[in-house]
Amino acid sequence: MPRRWTLVLRDHADAARPVRAVDCHGLLNSWWPQPGSEHGAAKKWAMNGWPQPLADRLWMWSLTWLDDRPPEMEPADLIGRVQRVGDHLLEPLSVTDVHTRDYTAILSEPRRVARSASLHTLSPVVSLARNYDGEDSFQAWPGPRLLFGVVHRTAAGQLSGSGALGAVARFAPREAAEAWLHRIDEVTTRLRRMPDDSAPIRATEHAGPAGRTVLGWEGGLRLALPQGSDGRLLADFGALLELIELTGVGKYTAQGFGALRVDTLTTGDDTKAGRRRPSSRDRRRPRSPRPVHAEIQEQEFDGLLFD
């Protein structure tokens, strides 16, 4: 089943250069090596950022295992055994499981049944799209392909892809994956994307390989299904939100995928979600004029998820 762990590590090195991507990838490749035939394939693991300083000589690191089959080695097996990350000598002190549900459970028994949700970044997200000149250009207002991933079939006829949808295509049981992927297209077609005034989208830079900086975006956005959407759509949207938190979003960079936190959920019934319905006096108040840039503030997703 897909897993996520939060590790707390102690650094035994008295002096060390900053953590580098190649050091992190080298360690994780030694933990979870892929056979030579899969050398060019996407990894079965992901990280949302490098190890982060937590306190004096203490570090924290979040790692994700994406395959539905369990890994041969679990980070908990390494507690007390020093691991080298570049010049750093990191000893795992504790490992906390924060996700232990398989894909079948995620797709058929979602923890959330939501009509709308707010999403906020925990680490920079890199979104690139091919422009008319055939070059990749930075996108700071993500569309469906950049946020949820895409699905395609390989030359051998197998499902593959990237992002949350790609993880389902690659690792979920075939029957559950194909049925859910056909249904989720309707969800993304109906979704509306709106800004989050408390956390506006903004461009940011973060460290890339060889000392280069990579342009990404941070902030929040809101996703909502129309009022009156049936329960199946709400459940599939809830499963999609759980997958986004698990897999991350955007392009894989030296620091891994961008991490998103899902919060401020609203169900189909506002009162059940704890929201106060406005009084009749509130409803009589005149609405503020619709902004002229509403077509940018609120847009529909294309629903074009399959290549």
The 10s digit of each residue's pLDDT in 213-237 is: 778 888 998 999 998 888 999 999 9
Q: Given this model, what pLDDT does residue 148 score? A: 87
Q: Given this model, what pLDDT does residue 307 score? A: 42
Both 94 and 107 in a single domain? no
Identify the three-state secondary structure at position 110.
Answer: coil
Q: Given this model, what pLDDT does residue 10 score? A: 96
Both 108 and 95 in a single domain? no
Instruction: Provide the domain count of the chain.
Output: 2
Q: pTM for this structure? A: 0.79
Copy the structure tokens of residue 197. Answer: 């005034």
User: Residue 166 — φ and ψ, nearest 5°?
Assistant: -65, -35
Of 80, 99, 118, the last residue of a domain is 99
Asked whether the beta carbons of 113 and 239 are under 8 A apart, the reply is no
pLDDT digits (tens, 9 = 90+) for 227-273: 888 899 999 999 999 999 888 887 777 667 788 888 877 876 543 43
Identify the three-state secondary structure at position 31.
Answer: helix
Nearest 5°: the CA angle 60, 243, 179 is: 155
CATH code assigned at 71: 3.30.70
Asked whether the beta carbons of 148 and 256 are under 8 A apart, the reply is no
Copy the structure tokens of residue 241. Answer: 């939100």
Q: Given this model, what pLDDT does residue 82 score? A: 96
Domain of residue 9, residue span:
3-99
CATH code assigned at 129: 3.30.70.1900
Residue segments in the chain with a per-residue pLDDT below the cut of 50: 270-284, 286-299, 303-307
How far does Cα 70 stand from its chain's mean position?
Answer: 20
